[in-house]
Structure 1
Amino acid sequence: MSIDMEQLFDRQAVTKLSQSQQEPKWMLEHRLKALEAASQLSLPKLQKTRIDHWNFTQFDPIRKEPAISSSRELPEEISRLISTDAGDAVFVQKNASPVFQSLPDTLASQGVIFTDISTAVREHEDLVKKYWMTAGGKADEHKLAALHTALVSGGAFLYVPRNVTVDLPFQALFWASGKGIGTFPYLLIVADNESELNVVANFVSDSESDAVINGAVEVFVGDQARVRIASLHTHGEQTTEVAYRRTVVGRDADLEWIVGDLNFGRTISDNTTHMKGSGSNARIKGITVGSGEERSNITSAVHHHGKATESDLVIRGVMKDQAQTILNGITKIEKGASQANGVQAEKVLMLSKEARGDANPILLIDENDVQAGHAASVGRVDPIQIFYLMSRGLSLREAERLVIFGFVSPVLDTIPFESLREQITHVIERKLG
């Protein structure tokens, strides 16, 4: 039986949730303040996307799951999303519970921390408190942000110390399983000055799940640090996901975000980067593919604060059947961010007359000595291209497949993780039928 979250989660319930995770007083106060705000705030107003009938508040109470001793105990369709080698850094959360985590001793001895949020708060409170929910998102921004802050359940904390380089990717898997559940994961990543790291985060649900997922990722890239993050979302067709990502980039730092919004249900995706340090560089790449009656609203934004910063947004969308998506690209150059250079390109390819895709490039410039540019397009598969390929012996389906993968290749081909490229390719082919 579904439950109205605003009635279920009163102050007493939120306090009990906080106490069950052995949180300090300041975190409980943070939760209760957000809970109060949630009762007064309205849903976010998204361009050309009605979400007032989406399910954000109906689900059963947070479920706890038993831990496992090995990632090989996971179902095959879940375990294939991560490496099961003993020497890898892996974190797995099922519903509200961290069920498996591993960190090689060689990394732990260098001061690397990769553990569940509850443990991190108990054992590294000062470090977590310094960064906790300070990357630009505000709990009082709207109802969904406030609900996430009030009901955070589970999540992971990754910290790489100064001058430490980690070549192997840290792997985080957030898995929603079962009917009528709500999950509120929080992933906090801190790369200290002059460090280097790679992260692959998978957000997935069972095919029959109707979960409500309201998650957030916060990333802090220190001065001269290099961070590469890939985030893949493949929730089922009955799910509703809200995914907020906030990044702060330091001086002369380098960031690469790769996002695959490949859910089969309803999606709100917001990826915002703040380039605080001068001389920093950010590349944001995204792919979304819609089929059936999927609905998605996807925003990619970069705010230039420091001098001589550079950003590049490249977003590709493919829509078929009756699927609809809104792609918003925002480049904001703040006053004082001289010599900044921000470019963006959003493109949507529609495979049927009923499909819809909007590409909205937005430039907001408050400084004179800058460069900025944008490009956007929405169109259908070129019949001349299809005719040419079929004249060379390909079937209609093979020809369309080549055109589609050629369209998304500016993002897909640049993904440095081979396993992730294969996952995304597999999901795209499933959606295309």
Structure 2
Amino acid sequence: MTDQSKYHSWLNEKRSHAWSVYENTPMPTTKSEEWRYTDLTKLLSLEHLNLQMTAGSHLKAPSREHLSETINTSGRIQFADGLISSLQLTSDIKNRGVIVDSMQNPQHEKHQEIIQANLGTVLLPPESGKFQALNAARWADGVIIYVPENVHIEMPVRGKHHFTSDRSTRCSRTLIVAEEGSQISYVEEFQSADSENAMVSSTVEIIAHKNATVDFVSVQNLGRGTFFQADQKAVVHRDATINTLNVNLGSTVTRLDLKTQLAEPGATTKMLGLYFGDQNQHFDHNTSQDHLAPHTGSDLLYKGALDGDSRATFRGVIRVHSGAQQTDAYQTNRTLLLSDKAQANSLPNLEIEADDVKCSHGSTVGQLDQEIIFYLLNRGLSPQQAERLVVLGFLGDVLERLPKGAFRRVVNSVTDTLKQKLSHG
């Protein structure tokens, strides 16, 4: 058996186990506290989805092309319905030993070894949930990003996912490994047209070793009729940093489970989130700041605005384990309601088993500040212009926390989408 055959056999064995778990795991219901505010049976018809997967070992290898050094991007990955169609990398990123490759059909044996050593080590096992098992069983392709020791890549790698199929389930997988002293940024985008009924499942694993820095941004702007289910897990080792931003603007139903583990002293994370809903959109965010070691820090800020009949739930927990002294952990969720029918539930929580810590959480759900609106009206703005300006300022606070240079394109793109949604409200 060739190394490639052994590798595919290993993948297929993991997928087969996960599929068995999926078939024997019930669909989550509102009887579970974690799904209390999201009744999938009333929101989507998931039982009609096609769960078949393209045979991974027979996928066409993605085209691999050189990328110009002048476009403020180190790499570009194009996905079509969950499959990598093209990989473009700059000479700089290739010459410095950074790996950006397909996880289904990696180019080299070394890439296979890195994937086998890391894939699934951060995530909870398939047994942890119905959708976790589904993704583990049905992902057809994924991307591995590996950064060697002390290599700093200033400009982000970008991955764009485009989906076209109705009544289908598409699963993607991302694995990011940053070795000691390295730095990398990855921006993923999800887009599709409106659909009668579809599901997109995204799983991300991030590992930052000693003194490494990983910035991860996800922008979801899928069409209506789509259920977007995302599972993101990160482990931060000694003196390392992982920063995440999740922007959810599209789909009919969004479910995000995000967990960051501060595993060793000096580990830090910033977790940012932005969401805007209108019509009947439904967002369910579940976050966990998990402090396992002393002298660690986390700071979470999730802000959203809801119009029409849209709904949002935020459920966040800060866990400080026994022995994790001198932890600094903060959690804030703020939501603006732009209509009488919009609703938000905010459920921050602390679970602290150490006594020498600084931890706080807070949440607000409220209307627009009428004093500010009145002030803007007196300066000649229309009511619509005033509301738009206030909402953009409220949500823009999240985007302003991104590094300006590397993420300027993200900030501009998200701001433009927000303006379009507000103009249609």
Q: Does 1:369 align with 2:353?
A: no
Deviation at 1:412? Answer: 1.6
Answer with 373-382 or 118-127: which moved more.
Answer: 118-127
Runs of 5+ unmatched residues, structure 2:
none
Deviation at 1:96? Answer: 3.3
2: distance between equivalents of 1:221 and 1:324? 34
Q: Does 1:49 align with 2:38?
A: yes
2:251 maps to which residue?
264
2: distance between equivalents of 1:152 and 1:23? 15
From 91, 95, 98, the counterpart of 2:84? 98
- The count of corresponding residues between Structure 1 and Structure 2 is 403
Letter in 1 for 2:85: V
Q: Does 1:26 align with 2:10?
A: yes
Letter in 2 for 1:48: Y
Deviation at 1:381? Answer: 0.9
Deviation at 1:137? Answer: 2.1
1:118 maps to which residue?
104
Deviation at 1:48? Answer: 1.6
Residues 380-391 of structure 1 mapped to structure 2, 5 A cutoff: 380-391=367-378
With over 3 angstroms needed to count, the CA separation of the structure-2 counterparts of 1:263 and 1:137, relative to structure 1, is farther
Deviation at 1:128? Answer: 0.6
Q: Is 2:73–2:155's contact at 8 Å kept on the other side of the alignment?
A: no
Secondary structure of 1:52's counterpart equals helix
Secondary structure of 1:128's counterpart equals helix
Letter in 1 for 2:223: G
Deviation at 1:431? Answer: 2.1
Q: Does 1:350 align with 2:340?
A: no
Deviation at 1:21? Answer: 9.4
Backbone CA RMSD of aligned residues:
2.3
Residues 246-265 of structure 1 mapped to structure 2, 5 A cutoff: 246-265=233-252
* Deviations 1:134-178, CA, capped at 9 Å, x for gaps: 113221011111111111111111000011000110111121113
Q: Is 1:184–1:215's contact at 8 Å kept on the other side of the alignment?
A: yes
Residues 99-248 of structure 1 mapped to structure 2, 5 A cutoff: 99-120=85-106, 123=109, 124-208=111-195, 210-248=197-235
Q: Is 2:141–2:172's contact at 8 Å kept on the other side of the alignment?
A: yes
With over 3 angstroms needed to count, the CA separation of the structure-2 counterparts of 1:87 and 1:249, relative to structure 1, is closer
Deviation at 1:430? Answer: 2.3
From 416, 419, 425, the counterpart of 1:426? 416
From 283, 286, 289, the counterpart of 2:270? 283
Deviation at 1:215? Answer: 1.4
Runs of 5+ unmatched residues, structure 1:
1-19, 72-82
Secondary structure of 1:24's counterpart equals helix
* Deviations 1:77-103, CA, capped at 9 Å, x for gaps: xxxxxx995974111110132111112
Deviation at 1:107? Answer: 1.8
1: distance between equivalents of 2:10 and 2:195? 38
Q: What TM-score do the two structures reach when normalised by structure 2?
A: 0.89
Deviation at 1:361? Answer: 0.9
1: distance between equivalents of 2:105 and 2:385? 50
With over 3 angstroms needed to count, the CA separation of the structure-2 counterparts of 1:200 and 1:366, relative to structure 1, is same
Q: Is 2:101–2:107's contact at 8 Å kept on the other side of the alignment?
A: no
Q: Does 1:319 align with 2:310?
A: no
* Deviations 1:7-31, CA, capped at 9 Å, x for gaps: xxxxxxxxxxxxx998432222211
2: distance between equivalents of 1:222 and 1:70? 28
Q: Is 2:255–2:283's contact at 8 Å kept on the other side of the alignment?
A: yes
1: distance between equivalents of 2:328 and 2:362? 15
Secondary structure of 1:414's counterpart equals coil
* Deviations 1:209-265, CA, capped at 9 Å, x for gaps: 742111101100111001111110111111111011110101001121111011231
Q: Is 1:34–1:139's contact at 8 Å kept on the other side of the alignment?
A: yes
* Deviations 1:9-59, CA, capped at 9 Å, x for gaps: xxxxxxxxxxx9984322222111111111221233313221234344533
1:59 maps to which residue?
49
Answer with 114-123 or 194-203: which moved more.
Answer: 114-123
Answer with 273-282 or 22-31: which moved more.
Answer: 22-31
Secondary structure of 2:25's counterpart equals coil
Letter in 2 for 1:97: L
2: distance between equivalents of 1:208 and 1:181? 10
1:37 maps to which residue?
21
2: distance between equivalents of 1:147 and 1:374? 33
Q: Is 1:348–1:358's contact at 8 Å kept on the other side of the alignment?
A: no
With over 3 angstroms needed to count, the CA separation of the structure-2 counterparts of 1:358 and 1:185, relative to structure 1, is same
Secondary structure of 1:173's counterpart equals strand
1: distance between equivalents of 2:7 and 2:83? 15
2:402 maps to which residue?
415
With over 3 angstroms needed to count, the CA separation of the structure-2 counterparts of 1:345 and 1:328, relative to structure 1, is same
Deviation at 1:384? Answer: 2.1
With over 3 angstroms needed to count, the CA separation of the structure-2 counterparts of 1:363 and 1:21, relative to structure 1, is farther
Secondary structure of 2:354's counterpart equals coil
* Deviations 1:354-407, CA, capped at 9 Å, x for gaps: 000111111111111111001110001122221111011111111101211221
1: distance between equivalents of 2:233 and 2:201? 14
Q: What TM-score do the two structures reach when normalised by structure 1?
A: 0.88
Q: Is 1:300–1:313's contact at 8 Å kept on the other side of the alignment?
A: no
Q: Is 2:61–2:105's contact at 8 Å kept on the other side of the alignment?
A: no
Identity of paired residues, percent? 25
2: distance between equivalents of 1:98 and 1:367? 45
1: distance between equivalents of 2:170 and 2:279? 25
